[in-house]
A = this chain, B = another copy of it.
Amino acid sequence: MEPLQHGSVIPLYHQLKERLKEAIETGRWTLGDKIPSENQLMDQFGVSRNTSKKAIEELVQEGILYRVQGKGTFVAKPKLQQSLMGFYSFSKVLKEKGLNPKDVILKIEEVSPTEKIREALELGEDEMVIEMKRLRCANNEPYILESSFIPKSVVQDPKQLNQVGEISLYDLFSQQFNIVVTRAKEAFEPVLIRAEESEYLETEAGQPALLLERTAFDVSGMPVEFCISIVRGDRCRFYTELT
């Protein structure tokens, strides 16, 4: 491990913070691992305890680490999973509780992206994408019709996506492709269900729904997924808390 640059314009705690973050993002430490104590970091990097503390505290603030007094400092769950839960938790989303979630994969195939998708994923000319279309159900009733578009450069072989259903798409990204999704942009608006969607969602055309578009980015800021969801309005309600 190279020493930190003392006397640099970049604060020591910030340099240390980046080192720790890098070690987590590259998989050096993962979910639940114990990282070195304040005293150990202090010795390893030649800084004071308050400086190593400040680096850790900011990472705790960002939700990357968590601390337990008397035990140590540990790696928290990836950030996006937390945020998604915070914003619209799928369990809370459903009016009925006691749900039995299940995803049906309708198709996985290589397609030519529309202009909108090409833009969202920052693709070049002629770059192809893999489309995975899923019907997401709870208690065997459909509630979301979802299409994920993933650049071919990310997932060379569509077959690799077949595991989705057993594990989540983002877990698959992290485990199979070494891609950690850390950020996402979302846009949504109310729409009417169209005829071709109504069949899958087992409802009628013209019923209220939410159109949700999400672009997910990996740690380097590269877009890795563009997702379009149609959410049945009668089955879903979204909650947020503004504090």
Contacts and interface: CB of A to CB of B under 8 A. Distances in A.
Interface of A: 50, 61, 79-80, 83-84, 87, 182-192, 206-210, 231, 233, 236-243
B87 A184 contact: no
A185 B237 contact: no
Nearest to A232: B190
A10 to B, nearest CB: 16
Nearest to A95: B189
A183 B233 contact: no
A187 B237 contact: yes
B236 A189 contact: yes
A238 B189 contact: yes
A79 B243 contact: yes
Contacts of A242: 80, 83-84, 87, 183-186
A238 B188 contact: yes
A239 B189 CA distance: 9
Given A210-B190, A233-B190, A184 B241 contact: yes
Given A84-B242, A186-B241, 4 more contacts: A183-B241, A189-B233, A190-B208, A192-B192
A190 B229 CA distance: 14
A132 to B, nearest CB: 20
8 contacts: A183-B241, A184-B242, A186-B241, A189-B210, A189-B237, A190-B231, A190-B233, A192-B192
A69 B133 CA distance: 51
Contacts of A233: 189-191
Contacts of A183: 241-243
B243 A83 contact: yes
A79 to B, nearest CB: 7
A188 B237 contact: yes
Given A61-B61, A190-B209, A208-B191, A182 B243 contact: yes
B187 A190 contact: no
Contacts of A83: 242-243
Nearest to A234: B189
A204 to B, nearest CB: 12
A168 to B, nearest CB: 15
A83 B243 CA distance: 7
